[in-house]
Amino acid sequence: MKKFTVGILVALLAVSLVLSGCTQPSGPTTTEPKYKIGLVFDIGGRGDHSFNDSAYNGLVRLAEEFEGYIKDDPDNVNYGTEVELKYLEPKEGGQDREQLLRTLAEEGYDLIFGIGFMFTDPMINVAKDFPDTKFAIVDGTIDGLDEQSNIVCLNFKQNEGSFLVGAIAGLKTQTNKVGFVGGMQSTLIEQFEVGYKAGAMYVNPNLREAGNILSQYIGTTGDAFKDPARGTEIASTFLNQDADVIYHASGASGAGVFQAVYDAFKNGKDVWAIGVDSDQGLVYKSSDDPEQQAMGDRIMTSMLKRVDTSVYLTGKDLMEGQWKGGYRDFGLDVDGVGYAVNDYNRSLIEDVMPQVDELKQKIINGEIVVPTNNEELQTFQLP
């Protein structure tokens, strides 16, 4: 009897061992990602409805198309484990830009983005110390690069996109006075200003007269991109001088421009704002905040600067073995810049869109060469 019992127990144990070998482990499993891509935002960070948010959207697209996830992301973007993406935000003033780039490099990220020209020197320093890591700077120019370099400069022809929204402003203004609010005074933001002025003057001779295009910068440091109160102050001054269309290139400070335009509208003025970088009208109209939705109604269009496209394509090149260092430009010819049309603003601008699209084609064909600085603007050929 004892031998029979022992035999049954041995048999049961054998069956148990066989079955356990066919069962998937219940504990968590970890899979190392094939690629790691990091990004450091500029001042203002996520939520600026502009430059940084557009860069973030590029990460989201990479995650979606290459089965990746964004690490420590409050929105829990997760499409798989093939690619790990991560972003960091600089402290107040951005003095830690270099340290944040270095942190990502030390953590083994294959490609690291710096969003904004203020990353130029920090990226040069870190890239020297990590020659096997790839780096990409948006809106920065570093001399002496070639295709074998571990840095690529991603630049945009914002003067071309600004020309188009300047033309829209020039065609839609009722007072023949328009405005421009810039963030940090710099050669980069000057390209937005000059392109806007050129487009407005090209289509509206009244705007060629001195004083009919108002322009002012918020400041001379990176803090100028996160000062909405100053944006409101400058825009209000322009509105009080009868400007009825105001374009901003000022990052998160642009929220103040929108506020000024909305307040003036509530006081009976038929005035408009033009956004920048992303489709800011659509962003505001999609908000859960009723006041922001109402502000969105006063955004005529936005100059699209497809930072998301540059982030996506550069990451895609890395993962498909097509990485090249050096320089890459995004203009009207590749839809790197443009102007926003959505279900909310189409009726506002559809009457001028044929003329604006004709100008776009002339720029692509080289018939119109849009100036990039104030010196070139002085000699820009008007019809």
Q: Which helix (H) or strand (E) holds 188?
A: helix 187-203
Q: Give pLDDT, residue 30.
A: 61
Q: Give pLDDT, residue 17.
A: 37
In order of 40, 245, 332, 353, the CA distances from 171 in angstroms are 39, 10, 20, 10
Cα 75–80–86 angle (5° rounding)? 50
Q: Which helix (H) or strand (E) holds 219?
A: strand 213-219
- The answer to whether the beta carbons of residues 282 and 342 sit under 8 Å apart is yes
Q: Give pLDDT, residue 333.
A: 94
pLDDT tens sequence across 155-181: 999 999 999 999 999 999 999 999 999
Domain with CATH 3.40.50.2300 in the chain: 35-156, 158-305+334-378
- The answer to whether the beta carbons of residues 295 and 259 sit under 8 Å apart is yes
- Alpha-carbon distance of 256 to 275, in angstroms, equals 12
Q: Give pLDDT, residue 51.
A: 86
Q: Give pLDDT, residue 346.
A: 97
3-state secondary structure of 273: strand
Antiparallel, parallel or unpaired: β 245-249 and 178-184: parallel
- Alpha-carbon distance of 73 to 63, in angstroms, equals 12
Q: What b/e string do you get for 62-73 counting C-beta neighbours within 10 Å, with b at 16 or more? A: bbeebebbbeeb
In order of 121, 286, 325, 330, 378, the CA distances from 186 in angstroms are 16, 32, 25, 20, 18
3-state secondary structure of 81: coil
In order of 53, 173, 248, 283, 345, the CA distances from 296 in angstroms are 17, 18, 14, 8, 9
- The answer to whether the beta carbons of residues 253 and 231 sit under 8 Å apart is yes
pLDDT tens sequence across 57-96: 999 999 999 999 999 999 999 999 999 999 999 987 789 9
Q: Give pLDDT, residue 8.
A: 39
Cα dihedral across residues 298, 300, 306, 308: positive or negative: positive
- The answer to whether the beta carbons of residues 35 and 261 sit under 8 Å apart is no
Fold of 158-305+334-378: Rossmann fold (3.40.50)
CATH architecture of 35-156: 3-Layer(aba) Sandwich (3.40)
Q: Which long-range contacts (CB under 8 A, 24 or more apart) does 236-243 make?
A: 236/260, 236/263, 236/264, 238/179, 238/181, 238/214, 239/179, 239/264, 239/269, 239/271, 241/177, 241/214, 242/175, 242/177, 243/175, 243/177, 243/178, 243/179, 243/214, 243/271
pLDDT along the chain (383 residues), means of 10: 40 40 38 95 85 94 98 96 97 90 98 96 98 97 97 98 99 99 96 99 98 98 94 99 98 96 98 96 95 97 95 97 96 95 97 98 98 98 94
Beta strands in 111-212 (DSSP E): 111-115, 134-138, 151-156, 178-184
Q: Give pLDDT, residue 18.
A: 39
Q: Give pLDDT, residue 47.
A: 85
Residue type, 295: M
Length of the chain: 383
